[in-house]
Structure 1
């Protein structure tokens, strides 16, 4: 029997993924959100499960989907939630998240608490079922949180605005954790015969659960990053760790310490995506993001089909009055979310990066409820200490709200964003993007002329070819009226940051130097972007006074000299990286410039950065020639080893050497890389 159950679950997973792949292919170039289509597909399958068939294969599939619809709610939470929350937080732009954290925290904590209270009041007022205060608060917590699974999958399909996406994703991640904490507290209150509501106890328990969750995520991140830092380019180990650890911290938090597992997973992911990024092998990062992107697609496909199945199979046809109550509650939670966000606008508009009226409307309409709300309702539905009628009522209302928000809000989100003008890039970005297109156009025209003169391409139908590239080759029109200076500076700084990550990926910048330089860029991007000065770099370039004074002191002298030596190396490497990046940006700036005045001002600041780095390097060469020799020797060796590895890979792709032999040669090269890295650190 157990073997049969396992096989049926396997059948469900395989068929669900295949259906998702087919659906995604059919929805290509359509306006229908993938998540909405999956939910409807799941509901359609759920309604057809009772149909008898004389075909054995169809009966087998029917049994597989029936079994899937009966999965335990806790199992759904533990299988899908840690991975999906980790992927969402790991893909966030951490710098933006930190800048917007105050806004996200206001929405996710006081904002959700207010929504929970008002929803509880609404349910006590509207519903005729005589719920207790604990039950109403529990229901309010279930349906007040925007679900990261639903919101994030929807936004990634249609939102090209990183700041808006980060705000909504960040809120959905944090208020999901807040909602689960509140749900746990109010569930225990709802199951008490004589409930005692102590506000101070609830507040204390909330902060205990959240703070312990943060601590567990941070401790596991610190320990694991120490281990990951000792590994060199082992993608299997590094990727496997990122898969296992979200489940580990979720389990530790939820079951051993009774804290917030979601908060722990978010903390772990943000540390990995931020300060921990340089601890991963540069060669592994691309594979790591591809792995999590694929896993997210698989899990999103499964969970939305599951939600549709559960809704359609576990809920019977309720009487008309219940549907009326559902409509009122659905409208009510939309009004409550609107009131809360409008009420918080004076605060939200003044902290973080601010909030416009258009973005606040998207924030309101993007408050989808999803699998987390449904899983919490299923936990209520299987809690035998509650009245059976109450359990059915909570499940009915929650499932109805989940379906309505995903179908109504989700399917109309694209229309809402288009009406508000948020489906396109801002005007300044559009102009910068047009400049990039113009640069692409120039290259295409050059290649076209070369192809046109090619003797072996005399039969090309050039009018037909030109029709397909005309949109790229249209001439660029410079709009002087637009204020594009901020966008131009931001683009230059973002290009410089990417230059550092590329250098790190090639092994030409160390972890510490990359961290210093990227951090300086992110500070320069705060508020109004500025290329010069780079005061944060100068702070990192100071040698600790105690290490210079204690160099000859017994016992600690060797340690002090080691600290001084490593700091000298960091200064030289980061100064070299800064100099090379400023040279690169000096060449890049004219091709991205939109107005001569902006270009002249930017070039002046870039030259100041270049001079600053050059003076630091010259000073270093005069004072510490032996260190310069060591660092530059390492860089030369690293460049040559990178070249050797790249050549082996190219020969393998061309069939000049077998893959097995190529792997052995690459392993030998990477062993030399690892050894040289260790020698430099000593």
Structure 2
């Protein structure tokens, strides 16, 4: 072996031995760091201080003490020579992706023209002024490239620290997103400028090269980020209900993207920001609903952990200065403190220079917010990571590197401690987290409901023998209504003032005084009601997506419509008017329609046409159902909103719903009935599969099935869900399919026997299907088109899938009870009454005809004056049951006789009062069984309209008296409404409980 080869072999062996020794040191350091993180968060709970300075302090002590402890001394000392590129690769992708992924995309997009200057020109100008301060005022005389490099590093803001601070302060979401957006793009742009300035400082590029490098870093980084985002979106969409795969894919994509970008001399930071923002904007709907929460939790843990490790490393490097000789002097410590103060002056001046731009774009900004933003430039993990890179660049001046690292770590620690406190003080001083008067008033309404519910709960517990030995004085002191009310009032302006003067008052007296203090304008109440309505609506849209009742893209469009509406709270609702323009371009549709009939390319345009129609119908149907649900939820909310104001806002919502229904009727149901069938079928599939999955999870966790059985069942569900993702073009369901859906007790053979008796008929617009008073010969199943059914007792439009004149299938009606006329071209299937004479059809037939039967016999039942909407809700919530002679009937809820008679005094169309014992059927009969608690509402009300109103409408006890300063009257009103409100709260809680049971 040659001497050169021998030397190379020797060096290789030494390197291998060094690597083998380094790996255990890194592993040991990692797990010690995790323990230190846990200790730091525990100390945070006890001392109520930010965790970052605790980590810095612990890291410093660990470096000083750990070097003297056997077995860990090598791990500690190895930090001094830690590879900065390894730190950067491990730390930055997690911090940047987590920050971008968790951002509010709509608000970020709206504020982008504010965020861009904050993340670019503010950074550059701040870096330049910081370099001037360092070289001129602090008299360091560094090279200007070096000084500017230090300025860039100290212009980096720590996203995780800033977000954590904002969460504790509860500032306005728009201002919060502005600061978060600045810190997010700040991280990316600082890394770009850092790479350019570091190359300058090392002498490896010139000005022209820097410009080219900047363009290459940003443009290539953006393109690469978009490419990875699209590829990851394509892959993650195919991973149905697999939280492990979906989470690991995002994790791998973020780190591989960062690594790939750096390898091709692009900006890894900009690439990962692009990926994260794509996931925030569109990717979140690609993630399976069951994986979403765990994925966000995973990234939150990863982001918090890696940032904590950086602070521990920073503290250990700070400790290095205490155990090793360095070129630092006492004056450097003083200069560091001076520079910390100057940095705030620099940031404040730069923000004021940008104030005209920041005020003009986005949501605007105030001087108070500029002051808070001056204090929000917290330093942390990014700055420390960049300082580590510079510290290990041997080509740079050693004193500069030591000063840079010391300044960065020291200023980061001071920033986390003092800027956090200063931000809190400024926000509180400027009243930026205080509830508005109308919000505080609504909080009073919620508190009222909670206190009344608590009082009822205490009364119930006191009557329970299990609680005979309870010290109720202690319970009421610690968990009673007054304690809760006092704690809430302490944190509000009006409440705190009342509490100082009347602390000895009872909860009822305090609440009465509290309510009487509000003097609210009509516009303020309407605006706040709209805001809460659209906030509720946003949550429903997202829930509709999670439950499979709306596609991901449609849900994003609908949620964005709510965000636009929230930006215009002062304006009347117009969300559907904007959605219609966004979803359905009639000129484009006509072009697609024309080209879809051409050979070769026609199929492509037909698919494009169907995509638009399916998306539009999906969004429109979700819009209608979500608005109805939002109204009901607002109805049930325990908040004080004046009844007239509530109904004014709801009228605006109803106008939008009617516009949406009219659009669907005119543009989709008549022209594309196959789309209606396809979308509703998909919704039903998703609802059923999600319900099955929930049930399987429930019985598995209860121990009913084994793990292997659980896995087989879940795999079956997920395979079915995958099939739903890739479907062919929609088609109109056959008559056989529609009849099978309508009459579920019938077998395929029974339906086959019916088909020869059914005749298909076509009607021109204006042509009558049947007329009132003529002999009844059956009903009509609509296959396409719209029909108007009219009589003194009914006025409705019916479309595809509806049966017109369904009541004429019943033997009790020998003549037509209404008139039906075609509105558009109608294709219908005539169903003769004689064909449905088997018992298997009776229950489904009466279920189909129940609305018409009850409307037709409303006078007999005593339902005159009941609003049609309330009547239909009651019928939909009820159950139709068919009983044979001798069957035992559970009548605990009461009901209505639709066919036959239960007793001699209860003939057809009579109301059955609730009875506790089962009743035996004497003859064959069909009953409508009331929904839970409806009978109670009938019993407690004087009239039927009042019974329906009390069951479905808001309680009068919840109506707010806007202006009433008479304390005596308020006390009397509180006492009078207390019992009413308690009944209302209990009823609502019971209804919610019943609803949850049904969902389960």
TM-score, scaled to structure 1:
0.91
Report the Cα distance in structure 1 between the residues aligned to 2:535 and 2:575, rounded to whole angstroms.
Answer: 16
Q: Which of 541, 544, 547 lines up with 1:503 in the alignment?
A: 544
Q: Does structure 1 residue 655 correspond to structure 2 residue 729?
A: no
- The 8 Å contact of residues 589 and 603 in structure 1, kept in 2 or not, is answered as no
Q: Which of 660, 666, 676 lines up with 1:613 in the alignment?
A: 660
Aligned positions of 1:394-543 closer than 5 A:
394-425=404-435, 428-466=438-476, 467-470=478-481, 471-472=483-484, 475=511, 477=515, 479-481=518-520, 483-528=524-569, 531-539=573-581, 540-542=583-585
**Who is 2:649 aligned against?**
602
* Residues 664 and 444 of structure 1: CA distance in aligned 2, closer, same or farther (over 3 Å): farther
Q: Which of 348, 363, 366 lines up with 1:356 in the alignment?
A: 366
Q: Which of 299, 302, 311 lines up with 2:309 in the alignment?
A: 302
Q: Which of 582, 603, 612 lines up with 1:567 in the alignment?
A: 612
Alpha-carbon RMSD:
2.7
Report the Cα distance in structure 1 between the residues aligned to 2:84 and 2:176, rounded to whole angstroms.
Answer: 29
Q: Does structure 1 residue 338 correspond to structure 2 residue 345?
A: no
- The 8 Å contact of residues 576 and 659 in structure 2, kept in 1 or not, is answered as no
The more displaced of 617-626 and 306-315 is 617-626
Aligned positions of 1:161-180 closer than 5 A:
161-180=172-191
Q: Secondary structure at the match of 1:515?
A: helix
Higher relative contact order (CA 8 A, sep 6+): 1
- The 8 Å contact of residues 490 and 529 in structure 1, kept in 2 or not, is answered as no
Aligned positions of 1:585-596 closer than 5 A:
585-590=630-635, 591=637, 592=639, 594-596=641-643
Per-residue deviation, 1:433: 4.3
1:183-202 per-residue CA deviation (whole Å, 9 max, x = no partner) reads 22222222339x96x4x664
Report the Cα distance in structure 2 between the residues aligned to 1:671 and 1:32, rounded to whole angstroms.
Answer: 49
Q: Secondary structure at the match of 1:144?
A: coil
**Who is 2:287 aligned against?**
280
Q: Does structure 1 residue 374 correspond to structure 2 residue 384?
A: yes
TM-score, scaled to structure 2:
0.63
* Residues 372 and 645 of structure 1: CA distance in aligned 2, closer, same or farther (over 3 Å): closer
Report the Cα distance in structure 2 between the residues aligned to 1:63 and 1:364, rounded to whole angstroms.
Answer: 42
Report the Cα distance in structure 1 between the residues aligned to 2:239 and 2:138, rounded to whole angstroms.
Answer: 59
Q: Which of 601, 606, 611 lines up with 1:556 in the alignment?
A: 601
1:189-224 per-residue CA deviation (whole Å, 9 max, x = no partner) reads 22339x96x4x6645543442232222211211121
- The 8 Å contact of residues 513 and 573 in structure 1, kept in 2 or not, is answered as yes
Q: Secondary structure at the match of 2:82?
A: coil
Aligned positions of 1:134-283 closer than 5 A:
134-192=145-203, 198=207, 202-256=210-264, 258-283=265-290
Report the Cα distance in structure 2 between the residues aligned to 1:307 and 1:13, rounded to whole angstroms.
Answer: 14
Per-residue deviation, 1:115: 0.6
The more displaced of 218-227 and 467-476 is 467-476
The more displaced of 164-173 and 330-339 is 164-173
Report the Cα distance in structure 1 between the residues aligned to 2:592 and 2:679, rounded to whole angstroms.
Answer: 21
Q: Secondary structure at the match of 2:515?
A: coil
- Consecutive unaligned residues of structure 2, counting only runs of 5 or more, are 1-16, 486-506, 731-1000
Per-residue deviation, 1:165: 2.7
Report the Cα distance in structure 2 between the residues aligned to 1:674 and 1:444, rounded to whole angstroms.
Answer: 47
The more displaced of 493-502 and 625-634 is 625-634
The more displaced of 460-469 and 135-144 is 460-469
- The 8 Å contact of residues 126 and 325 in structure 1, kept in 2 or not, is answered as no
The more displaced of 334-343 and 518-527 is 518-527
The more displaced of 204-213 and 375-384 is 204-213
* Residues 485 and 581 of structure 1: CA distance in aligned 2, closer, same or farther (over 3 Å): same
- The 8 Å contact of residues 70 and 310 in structure 1, kept in 2 or not, is answered as no
**Who is 1:55 aligned against?**
none
Aligned positions of 1:382-401 closer than 5 A:
382-401=392-411
Per-residue deviation, 1:32: 0.6
Report the Cα distance in structure 2 between the residues aligned to 1:366 and 1:628, rounded to whole angstroms.
Answer: 51
Per-residue deviation, 1:586: 1.5
Q: Which is helix-richer, 1 or 2? A: 1
- The 8 Å contact of residues 500 and 577 in structure 1, kept in 2 or not, is answered as yes
Aligned positions of 1:70-89 closer than 5 A:
70-89=81-100
Per-residue deviation, 1:583: 0.5
Report the Cα distance in structure 1 between the residues aligned to 2:355 and 2:708, rounded to whole angstroms.
Answer: 60
Q: Which of 26, 30, 42 lines up with 1:25 in the alignment?
A: 42
Q: Does structure 1 residue 37 correspond to structure 2 residue 54?
A: yes
Q: Which of 5, 8, 12 lines up with 2:25 in the alignment?
A: 8
Report the Cα distance in structure 1 between the residues aligned to 2:202 and 2:677, rounded to whole angstroms.
Answer: 72
- The 8 Å contact of residues 96 and 187 in structure 2, kept in 1 or not, is answered as no
Per-residue deviation, 1:91: 0.9
**Who is 1:100 aligned against?**
111
- The 8 Å contact of residues 373 and 398 in structure 1, kept in 2 or not, is answered as yes
* Residues 153 and 302 of structure 1: CA distance in aligned 2, closer, same or farther (over 3 Å): farther
1:277-307 per-residue CA deviation (whole Å, 9 max, x = no partner) reads 2122222211211211222232232222122
- Consecutive unaligned residues of structure 1, counting only runs of 5 or more, are 53-57
Q: Which of 713, 719, 723 lines up with 1:671 in the alignment?
A: 719
Greater Rg by CA: 2
Per-residue deviation, 1:428: 4.7
Q: Which is strand-richer, 1 or 2? A: 2
* Residues 634 and 400 of structure 1: CA distance in aligned 2, closer, same or farther (over 3 Å): closer
The alignment of Structure 1 onto Structure 2 pairs a total of residues equal to: 672
1:312-371 per-residue CA deviation (whole Å, 9 max, x = no partner) reads 215756322222322332222121111111222222122211222332222111212222
- The 8 Å contact of residues 576 and 657 in structure 2, kept in 1 or not, is answered as no
Per-residue deviation, 1:519: 2.4
